[in-house]
Amino acid sequence: EDQVTQSPEALRLQEGESSSLNCSYTVSGLRGLFWYRQDPGKGPEFLFTLYSAGEEKEKERLKATLTKKESFLHITAPKPEDSATYLCAVLDSGGYQKVTFGTGTKLQVIP
Amino acid sequence: NAGVTQTPKFQVLKTGQSMTLQCAQDMNHNSMYWYRQDPGMGLRLIYYSASEGTTDKGEVPNGYNVSRLNKREFSLRLESAAPSQTSVYFCASSSFATNEKLFFGSGTQLSVL
């Protein structure tokens, strides 16, 4: 059974204080690892897809990296508008389109 | 483009009542999904439809039924609502052309009393 574990559950940062969110995963065959951002009262919004170990993707202050067992979402010099819940998910290479989500990291960036 | 549209946004039901959640996407995606999101549980797949005319069970299908009405629309029905079905429900869509990334609707907050 596929598993996705995110840590920490919550993170409070001062504006400009860089940090990383972790996503550990267990999957029989990885077809893709996704990062989503979710704001309160809204649906998750796609950020990145990573397909193989060593791959990196960047978008503004966010950079996602992937190893064979985990992914990190690095946040550089965060701003208050980066406050959200960040979700990690894995797509199994099995017979159907099964995406398993982690429970998320709630990030709060304080001015 | 509206993307993925869900209705209603909020709903309160009494135990035993039935209701249908509606979902439509205008991105010409083949696959559509229904998820529920509960505190501490993450998003869990209820049902999905890989293509028009097909539906399959996900992780937590008990108590739900779905209909893929056409390529755009995918509805979720609760035949006899139970308090355990109190949750936030999200519809999503995807396609091979978008490398399977999910596009989500804004959610339905359902309370069953």
Q: Rounded to whole angstroms, how far apart are CA atoms A82 and B108?
A: 24
Q: Looking at the partner chain, which of A42, A96, A101 has a beta carbon nearest the beta carbon of B106? A: A42
Q: Rounded to whole angstroms, how far apart are CA atoms B109 and B7?
A: 10
Amino acid at B51: S
Q: Does A24 touch chain B (CB under 8 A)?
A: no
Q: Rounded to whole angstroms, how far apart are CA atoms A51 and A66?
A: 8
Q: Is B101's pLDDT higher than 90? A: no
Nearest CA in chain A to B92: A43
Give mean pLDDT, residues A10-25.
98
Q: Does A32 touch chain B (CB under 8 A)?
A: yes
Q: Does A59 touch chain B (CB under 8 A)?
A: no
Query: A54-58, A93-97, B90-94: which range is least confident on average?
Result: A93-97
Whether A6 contacts A100, CB under 8 Å: no
**What tens digit of pLDDT does each residue of B56-65 get?**
999 899 999 9
Angstroms from A58 CA to nearest CA on chain B: 17
Which residues in chain A have Cβ-Cβ distances shorter than 8 Å to B92?
43
Q: Is B108's pLDDT higher than 80? A: yes
**What tens digit of pLDDT does each residue of B34-81 get?**
999 998 888 999 999 988 889 999 989 999 999 999 999 999 999 999
Nearest CA in chain A to B31: A97
3-state secondary structure at position B83: helix
Which residues in chain A have Cβ-Cβ distances shorter than 8 Å to B56?
96
Q: Would the CB atoms of A49 and B56 count as touching at under 8 Å?
A: no
Q: Would the CB atoms of A101 and B43 count as touching at under 8 Å?
A: yes
Give mean pLDDT, residues A54-66.
97
The pLDDT of residue A96 is 62
Whether B94 contacts B103, CB under 8 Å: yes
Whether A6 contacts A23, CB under 8 Å: yes
The pLDDT of residue A95 is 58
Residue A17 pLDDT level (bands cut at 50, 70, 90): very high
Q: Does B95 touch chain A (CB under 8 A)?
A: no
